[in-house]
Structure 1
């Protein structure tokens, strides 16, 4: 750390200093440190490794499942039941609580077993110079001041300043988002140069794609750029979803309500002469009636079912609440490379004198081209160091693929035209050349190649390269660049004496435009998410021109803000700007987090997608972090809530639709549970004022288990409503229990209470105490009224009555179980008696009277919602 402190004191960083000055500052030499000095620095600095925070233990995960106010209220009710001698009630409550804990534990434990991904970034070995001697050592043994040797295929083992670079290119996409390998040199750059443009630096965890280099290590371990990201991830708290907060708030309110009711009712009953045990039993009954015991388990199971369905659609969910959180997302911040695009270079367009060819995206059929276009791609294939299957430089691979697509047999052409000389590519020269007998080929940057040409190949053969023709070439290069194409020029020379003759006297053939193309289905997916009221914004490390062109082609927009502009803004200014910006280009990890926080500061619920190490902090800070599963780094996957197994943006749109559908189902059964619980509390409370305990705790618990168990769980697989993606995102501040649900709960609860109290008085026939018959009638009628209310609530969400066979089976099973506690020896445990056909006729009349009241409430609620 002393090295970084020294550099900061003088306000100079390695990328802005000459290479030899960096070596001097690090008190090193070009032939490396001595073994003794390296050993001393290793003891002082520590090993070159990323220290992850370590995962939670299984015990911690299990205990965390019970950290909920609602669970605490249930446990308090169980303890109270034991105190008054109702052990059966306590056991039933305990079973529900433990089952909920097990469901949550299984899902969280699976997610926690993900790899310690930051360690995976470490290169296992490094080639290092020690006192002039080259040796292979463990990468963990590197220290600042070590001189390392880099070759094609190496993973960079530490942050380092280049001393020498020969044709060196490094793939930094995982760190910076840059879509193509970056050409490196040993030249210093300005102090304010963004990370992605520091050509004199290489960074830990990136990959060398070609060439070789020598560099002096400037930072190791947690002080590297990747280490800084790891430190930020460790300091980031897990984001809670709106549903988690709402359930906790519900638990607190219910707990307070139970205390208030019990504190009021128990003394009142004692004053009326009720014995202490009966008063305590009534208090327990109120507690059981007030708390929806099945809610935590049903929420967990419904989310788990959603997770399973989403995994079948290539979206792997790492945290259950993230499924529901998707329903509230109103902004998606997406990376470009590998997320919106295919993550691979492709030749999109060819240009030969005044003729443009768009290569077909369907590569299954050869593309018809003229002899000039074939000559262009023949040069691209022969003046090329890659092979079709070696996984080399992405640009050269793309050129070979284009040649193959138009029918050129690359292997045959190379065999017929063996290479007899070459001029290797360098970042300073910006071109490469090869000699094949009596012809030489050149490919490189257009501005450099054109300078070395005096003729141009036309349909009538080579013609002089006039100023007018040069201008047409330059215009085409600009047009290709505006379309986010990386442009390369091709030329040839007849009968060169050798490689040195390739620097002038060339005949210009044409241009190739390469691009990391958008995925075919992404534009439609973005349009669909926009129709759903969700803004899509690109946040990328790529350059402005490329980012804007890709964003425009996908329908995202063209308003761009660069990372360096973000740096100059304070938080308030950034919050004002982010809503109007479509593309954030040249962003660093710090920029991404600030952009995300600015949107959240405006009240947005943000999903962040990404695949690189640089995306990890923003993924973890987002309301929903979505990582790519194929191209994504392990770092990004571990920081995310959801992993796309097919790296397909369209999967996000399907996941949002699924998330909204799951929220609808959660809304349905929360409404279903609470309407019943409100009615239970009202009936027990009002009846107790007249000295009647009409529904004892065991019956209330049975009602909750019977009607809130299987039917509520079956609601979790209710089909998604057809209009779910035509609604705007839900406002998380309004919550599940907003005005519409409160109206529904109060209305249906009131109707149920009035009808069942009337039934109680009718069946009591003036008795001074509750009779088993009256208790059984109210108990049974309540069960079937809940079933009726369930279908009315589904109607509110435009769900067809018989569209869910699981629900039909669940209701039928629950009805049979209710009959079992009436007509089997189980009735002794529930205090019930068998009912006659006449009694069932009375219950049918009660249902017929109540259903119109339920529908009237539902119609009023629908109007309130709209």
Structure 2
């Protein structure tokens, strides 16, 4: 396990150094390990896609009916059935072929690059050319191209929500970890597909392609046994019943006719004609057209359906296990509450849209009274709020939430930085748990306990000395916010021209949340009315998960929240006993 090994041991095992691989060595390793890509299943040819439309039992019966109709001289019947067969096959083929092409285009849209050390110099290469032993450099905004062990971390934070579901960025370290840990707690590793939100780092690649954590998931998905959909099973059943029934009835008719004195050949023709008439030729076409209409509706909702019967399968769903971050929620941290001037202030608005109002006990207050909070939030911040089609954040989502708060108050980061440029800074680290900058004065933010340790004063309608009673009250409010599933940061400031983190003035607590999507509550209600159970899956803390599940209407009194560790400790029989009550 790479996270339990020292940096020197990892480099030795991978036969590399901090200066990276030689180019010749990297080329040799590509031959040994292959390209850093997820393997695709066997590519399906156009002919295979077309022929697969005629595999259903009912379609086979119709093809037999065509052959028999030709043999007995019923050419018109054979032509009509053939046209229906062909039309049904073409309709299904066109839909599946378009879906395959759409997925191929999506894959080609991105051509990621990686910054790597080769021959001791920095180079930009395609991520597909990375091999175990390569040393890569990461900075804000980069997508991690492979699974790596961190060699050096300069306040490196990673958004691992795509892998773990945890919406808060994880602060990374280069230190060796000793105990056995779940994936989300291996803080000296970075994983393929995750995003750098803060700081920078140097890492050595130890797994690429299908050997990465994402590759393992892809491998499991590829090994899943393909099963027939409920519709396919039903149609096959109908086909078999019709086929067997037609054979039995036609045989009886033929035998009875012969017993009554008719010629055997004449009765055979009658029997076959009856069998052909008994087969519902239009059924495959009706089913295909109906499913194709369903696919078109799904396309309008931005969903690509590969196989037509998958539309009907969705209608048979009884349980939906949904990821929280980015699916049930926006994956956009938003400040919901502020404790300032001995008041709890509620903030309206969702996501990164910088529009919202401020309320105390449901009465709107003047945002000008919060300019101090806006100034600290904007200046003690390394993120950027970008507005193109939508509002997005470059950098840490938590800092993004503070930027949005500042803009709601009416403070623009660019304007403030132009007036009060940054002169010095003390960056956030997992040890210090706070960040401070020097502009026109000192501005700080960080964990409430850490900020309070460095505060001698408090802003309470003016600056006064902070008391133990003040600190106790602030920590109690912090606990209350945390129990509601909110992530809390404290803000502080101090006048002065030298950057030092002591004798600060406590300003406020800011409590933020990754807000639920507006449409989710209604969707969950519709699922429940349809008899579908919704289970939320997340990497968040238990309290945060419970708060979100409560807000969405997923969790009720008596339901169970199961953590990853608790799940690992349960036997299959123990899990079966409680699974019906597990909602998170």
Structure 1 length normalisation: TM-score?
0.62
Give me the whole-angstrom Cα distance separating, in 1, the residues matched to 2:31 and 2:319: 47
How far apart, CA to CA, are the structure 1 residues paired with 2:512 and 2:445? 14
Cα contact 1:372–1:509 (8 A) shared by 2: no
> What displacement does 1:385 show?
1.9
2:443 to 428, 441, 444: 441
2:467 corresponds in structure 1 to 466
Unaligned runs of 5+ in 1: 1-12, 584-866
Deviations 1:783-830 (A, max 9, x none): xxxxxxxxxxxxxxxxxxxxxxxxxxxxxxxxxxxxxxxxxxxxxxxx
Post-superposition offset of 1:114 = 3.3
1:235-265 per-position Cα deviation (integer Å, ceiling 9, x unaligned): 2233432111010011111111122222222
Q: How does 1:235-634 map to 2 (within 5 A)?
A: 235-312=223-300, 315-361=303-349, 364=355, 366-367=357-358, 368-369=365-366, 373-389=370-386, 391-393=393-395, 394-437=397-440, 439-459=441-461, 461-496=462-497, 498-499=498-499, 501=500, 503-557=501-555, 559-583=560-584
Instruction: Determine the C-alpha separation between the residues in 2 that align with 1:374 and 1:79.
Output: 83
Determine the structure 2 residue equivalent to 1:24: 12
> Do the aligned residues in 1 keep the contact of 2:332 with 2:514 (CA within 8 Å)?
yes
| Rounded Cα–Cα distance in structure 1 between residues aligned with 2:422 and 2:137 | 29
Quick check: 1:104 aligned with 2:92? Answer: yes
SS at match of 2:324: coil
Alignment map for 1:154-233 (pairs within 5 Å) = 154-233=142-221
Render the CA deviation track for 1:810-857: whole Å, top value 9, x for unaligned. xxxxxxxxxxxxxxxxxxxxxxxxxxxxxxxxxxxxxxxxxxxxxxxx
The alpha-carbon distance between structure 1 residues 29 and 430, as it changes in their structure 2 partners (threshold 3 A), is: same
Question: Matched residues in 2 for 1:118 and 1:97: separation?
Answer: 32
- Deviation, 1:49, is 2.1
- Please tell me whether the aligned partners of residues 374 and 410 of structure 2 are also in contact (alpha carbons under 8 angstroms): no
Q: Is the 8 A contact 1:350 1:373 kept in 2?
A: no
CA contact (8 A) 1:423 1:433 kept: yes
In the superposition, the TM-score normalised over structure 2's length comes to 0.91
Partner of 2:127: 139
Where does residue 698 of structure 1 map in the other structure?
Answer: none
Q: Distance in 1 between matches of 2:551 and 2:234?
A: 40
Residue aligning to 1:724: none
> C-alpha distance in 2, partners of 1:60/1:472?
70
Shift of 1:359: 0.6
Q: Is the 8 A contact 1:122 1:157 kept in 2?
A: no
Q: CA deviation at 1:336?
A: 0.6
What is aligned with 1:594? none
Partner of 1:731: none
Distance change (3 Å), C-alpha of 1:22 and 1:545: farther
Cα distance in 1 for partners of 2:94, 2:108 equals 26
Deviations 1:702-738 (A, max 9, x none): xxxxxxxxxxxxxxxxxxxxxxxxxxxxxxxxxxxxx
Contact 2:69 2:276 in 1 (8 A): no
Aligned to 1:384, what secondary structure does the other structure show?
Answer: coil
Q: Residues 224 and 46 (structure 1 numbering): CA distance in 2 closer, same or farther, change over 3 Å?
A: same
The structure with more helix, counted as a fraction of residues: 1
1:417–1:258 Cα change, 3 Å: same
- Aligned partners of 2:335 and 2:513 also within 8 Å: yes
Q: How many Å separate the matches in 2 of 1:152 and 1:409?
A: 22
Distance 2:90 2:106 in 1: 30
Partner residue in 2 for 1:127: 115
In structure 2, what is the Cα distance between the partners aligned to 1:253 and 1:101?
A: 22
Runs of at least 5 residues in structure 2 that lack an aligned partner in the other structure: 359-364, 387-391
CA distance in 1, matches of 2:317, 2:35: 42
- Aligned equivalents of 1:46 and 1:365: distance in 2? 51
**Matched residues in 1 for 2:21 and 2:33: separation?**
15
Shift of 1:161: 0.3
CA apart distance, 1:59: 0.7
Give 1:518 deviation, angstroms: 0.6
CA contact (8 A) 2:347 2:356 kept: no
Q: CA RMSD of the aligned region, Å? A: 2.3
**Relative to structure 1, is the Cα distance of residues 574 and 283 closer, same or farther in structure 2, using a 3 angstrom cutoff?**
same
* Pairwise CA distance, 1:110: 1.5
Give the equivalent residue in structure 2 for 1:676: none
Aligned partners of 1:313, 1:139: CA distance in 2, in Å? Answer: 32
Q: State the distance in 1 between where 2:103 and 2:533 align.
A: 32
Question: What does residue 761 of structure 1 align with?
Answer: none
Greater fraction of residues in strand: 2
Q: Report the equivalent of 1:716.
A: none
Indicate the residue corresponding to 1:635 in structure 2.
none
What SS does the corresponding residue of 2:201 show, helix, strand or coil?
strand
Deviations 1:259-279 (A, max 9, x none): 222222212212211123431
3-state SS in 2 of match to 1:113: helix
Deviations 1:618-662 (A, max 9, x none): xxxxxxxxxxxxxxxxxxxxxxxxxxxxxxxxxxxxxxxxxxxxx
1:187 Cα deviation after fit: 2.2
Q: Structure 1: how far apart are the matches of 2:210 and 2:457?
A: 55
SS at match of 1:560: coil
Mean CA deviation greater in 557-566 or 240-249: 557-566
Inter-CA distance 45–55: structure 2 relative to 1 (3 Å threshold): closer
Deviation at 1:369, TM superposition (A): 4.3
Distance 2:302 2:39 in 1: 31
Structure 2 CA distance for partners of 1:153 and 1:198, relative to 1, 3 Å? same
Alpha-carbon contact 1:526-1:536 (below 8 Å) kept: yes
Distance 1:522 1:125 in 2: 36
Deviations 1:267-321 (A, max 9, x none): 2212211123431232123212332111111011112122333444555544322
Cα separation, 2, equivalents of 1:258 and 1:309:
37
